[in-house]
Homo-oligomer: A and B are copies of this chain.
């Protein structure tokens, strides 16, 4: 899994039938800086993930990719390759709380 920040959402009306009602959020991956673990570097990719947990813009989340994303609640039959599986409370590195 990877850490990501929710930066927005998308709206799509013409889509696979089974995707009706699924909330689609935009994520920017967050990588722990190699020199300063208190800092996240923003990844370049923009990932669209299904959100079944009610994440809000700005939240740090944990997301799963590939076919395993379909193990998230209610997603088994969906054509999805990314899902939010947790909202992150805190990150701990080297014995310190580095987030929030």
Interface residues of A (CB under 8 A from B): 1-3, 7-19, 24, 26, 28, 30-32, 34, 37, 41-42, 44-49, 52-54, 57, 62, 64-73, 77-83, 85-95, 98
Contacts and interface: CB of A to CB of B under 8 A. Distances in A.
A70 B16 CA distance: 12
Assembly stoichiometry (copies) = 5
B81 A26 contact: no
A47 B10 contact: no
A57 B2 contact: no
A79 B83 contact: yes
A43 to B, nearest CB: 8
Contacts of A70: 68, 71, 79
Given A31-B45, A87-B12, A81 B62 contact: no
A32 B24 contact: no
Contacts of A13: 87, 89
